[in-house]
């Protein structure tokens, strides 16, 4: 008995349903993997440096990216044309790119103001026109990686659906996961790393002060760490502390970091990741 041609098998309702379901999971895996590397690793790093609400950004990104991925994967599977898949995933890439810029600089501050109304007046987030170039760069990278993944969806789904082993069904998707891991890592450097590094600098400096209280600190070491910037607020520093970026310039080079200690708010100014000065803030 001759086996059925692939074209005939592909037209069977059960095979079509399997492809549609695979398309959904393909999109979920794509959106989830991108979110983990674009915002998840950033959230984990912030949690290790006493970040305030470190997972808020990740939650704000993973939910829409996973849903958009699932919808796009399903539509691409239904149309079953590589060109249509390319166009659909190109459109999804534009939404992902918008999120990479808007999430840390616009959306998260608004959510944070709702979660913690007391901090609202201490945040000074501005969306500059210069951020348009960041959006263009983000879309450029995302368009390359996500469009490539979109082109692979149809042939990969065919291979997975007709595979009889679990590995054969999962293995084709690993190519997409690798692409999204690389893409998410690249996107993380566009905004998140520039906002994360100042927090790390302030946290590391304060930890050094706490560990050396009552000790004589070498003058050169004090200068290297810019400890003079914290001289006026030294008495307010406590082991219990949380940090968040409270402002920045259009190039994300001059950044303000807000520190919440047990009994005071302190804001530190950094330029090129170097501490300039810190001052106590009044919660207006």
DSSP calls for 214-277: TSPPPHHHHHHTTGGGGGGGGGG--SS-EEEEEEE-TTS-EEEEEEE-SS-EEEEEEETTEEEE
pLDDT at 3 over 70: no
- Tell me the pTM: 0.88
pLDDT tens-digit readout, 199-243:
999 999 999 999 998 888 889 999 999 999 999 999 999 999 999
SS3 for 112? helix
pLDDT tens-digit readout, 49-103:
999 999 999 999 999 999 999 999 999 989 888 888 889 999 999 999 999 999 9
Note whether 50 and 242 are within 8 A (CB). Answer: yes
pLDDT at 39 over 50: yes
pLDDT > 90 fraction of the chain, expressed in percent and rounded? 61
């Amino acid at each position: 008995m001759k086996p059925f041609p692939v074209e005939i098998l592909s037209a069977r309702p059960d095979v079509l349903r399997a492809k549609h379901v695979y398309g959904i999971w393909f999109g979920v895996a794509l959106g989830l993997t991108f979110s983990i590397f674009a915002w998840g690793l950033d959230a984990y790093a912030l949690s290790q440096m006493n970040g305030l609400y470190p997972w808020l950004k990740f939650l704000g990104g993973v939910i829409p990216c996973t849903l958009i991925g699932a919808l796009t994967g399903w539509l691409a599977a239904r149309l079953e044309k590589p060109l249509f898949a390319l166009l659909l995933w190109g459109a999804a890439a534009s939404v992902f790119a918008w999120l990479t810029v808007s999430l840390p600089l616009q959306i998260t501050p608004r959510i944070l103001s709702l979660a913690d109304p007391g901090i609202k007046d201490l945040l000074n987030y501005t969306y500059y026109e210069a951020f348009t170039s960041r959006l263009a760069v983000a879309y450029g990278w995302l368009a390359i990686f996500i469009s490539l993944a979109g082109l692979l969806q149809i042939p990969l789904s065919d291979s997975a659906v007709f595979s009889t082993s679990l590995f054969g069904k999962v293995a084709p998707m690993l190519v997409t996961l690798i692409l999204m891991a690389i893409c998410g890592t690249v996107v993380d450097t566009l905004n998140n790393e520039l906002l994360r590094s100042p927090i790390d600098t302030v946290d590391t400096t304060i930890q050094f002060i706490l560990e050396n209280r009552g000790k004589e600190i070498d003058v050169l070491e004090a200068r290297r760490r810019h400890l003079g910037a914290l001289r006026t607020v030294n008495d307010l520093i406590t082991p219990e502390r949380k940090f968040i970026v409270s402002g920045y310039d259009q190039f994300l080079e001059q950044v303000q970091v807000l520190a919440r200690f047990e009994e005071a708010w302190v804001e530190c100014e950094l330029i090129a990741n170097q501490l300039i000065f810190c001052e106590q803030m009044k919660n207006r």
